[in-house]
Amino acid sequence: MTSTVAVLNQKGGVGKTTVTLGLASAAWAAGLRTLVVDLDAQANATWALGVDPSTKNLGTGDAIHANRSGAAKEMIVPSGWGEEIWILPGAGDLTEREADTRRDTSVGRLAKSLEGVASEFDVVLIDCAPSLGLNTSNGLAAADGALLVVEPTIFGVRGVEPVLDLIEEVWSSDNRKLDLAGVVLNRVPAVSSDAQSRIVDLNKMVGTQSVWKPTIPQRVVVNQAHGERAPIHAFGSQGRELADIFDAHLRKLRRTVTS
Ligand SMILES: Nc1ncnc2c1ncn2[C@@H]1O[C@H](COP(=O)(O)OP(=O)(O)OP(=O)(O)O)[C@@H](O)[C@H]1O
Ligand SMILES: [Mg+2]
């Protein structure tokens, strides 16, 4: 059984890559075979997984462009985290090619290139760019679940509706298996009445069941792990709090998103 999830939000810097890497770290600690698909030309996930992004490498842009069943097989590479964690690098002129394509001929190509490839993994994590463009639609078309990462701020919550609309659009046009896996709240302050009101708003918008618990606090170990290109689970007691949170999120993902 494979759990394939697209981690997304149109808003930049909210923690999509951090959540992708946190789930990958939990999968690493659990010994699960995992593929991270980097759909962002910034290629931060690729870099943090120990693979140097280069436009010369084959990557997600090529996998989309290939338009061939199983094409990603020749493009995935092992990460620097060990043999269970693989990556389809954020390379292959992702942005330029996105601008050159039409929706009707493009969306569905990533799913096609992952045919017979995703099924070899226990977990597939698709890290989307901060955009609701065609690359993100491709990510959603290739996933069984959509995982939104949101900060508990007024702008953060205002930004949720267009993302839900896109999930609905891809569900109705391209991928009937797609479901809202959940909403992960990131950078939640310990004490803030404003943040608590925003969380109440969010619960009303998507339903309490869809907001994953526990929420993620702001912690310095996140940047440390990214900087050292290492899993948070490798940081011992310093990373324990976040490691426990991502373990819980991975369990939820594996329970609710399967194909
Ligand atoms: N819970 C957290 N605690 C501390 N720092 C965090 C946390 N979440 C994210 N950050 C930091 O915030 C910055 C943005 O996070 P990240 O890159 O994960 O966001 P993103 O949504 O993927 O961004 P983009 O839209 O550019 O892809 C990074 O420097 C990251 O280390
Ligand atoms: Mg990112």
Report DSSP letters for 210-251, one per residue: GB-SS-----HHHHHHHHHT--GGGGGGGTHHHHHHHHHHHH
Domain of residue 213, CATH code: 3.40.50.300
Structural domain span for residue 112: 3-256
11 CA distance to ligand 2 middle (Å): 10
Phi and psi angles of residue 69, each rounded to the nearest 5 degrees, phi first: -60, 125
12 CA distance to ligand 2 middle (Å): 7
Distance of CA 256 to the CA centre of its chain: 16
Q: Which atom of ligand 1 is least distant from the CA of 223? A: 31
**What is the helix (H) or strand (E) element at residue 95, kind and residue range?**
helix 94-99
**Structural domain count, the chain:** 1
Q: What is the dihedral of CA 237, 239, 245, 250, to 10 degrees?
A: -110
162 CA distance to ligand 1 middle (Å): 21
**pTM here?**
0.98
pLDDT of residue 229: 98
- Per residue of the chain (259 residues), what is the pLDDT tens digit? 999 999 999 999 999 999 999 999 999 999 999 999 999 999 999 999 999 988 678 999 999 999 999 999 999 999 999 999 999 999 878 988 888 788 888 899 999 999 999 999 999 999 999 999 999 999 999 999 999 999 999 999 999 999 999 999 999 999 999 999 999 999 999 999 999 999 999 999 999 999 999 999 999 999 999 999 999 999 999 999 999 999 999 999 999 998 8
pLDDT of residue 74: 95
- Which residue owns the Cα nearest ligand 1 atom 30? 223
Phi and psi angles of residue 180, each rounded to the nearest 5 degrees, phi first: -75, 110
Per DSSP, what are the bridge partners of residue 125? 5, 36
Which residue from 17, 132, 184, 187 has its CB within 8 A of the most atoms of ligand 1, so it is best to mutate?
A: 17
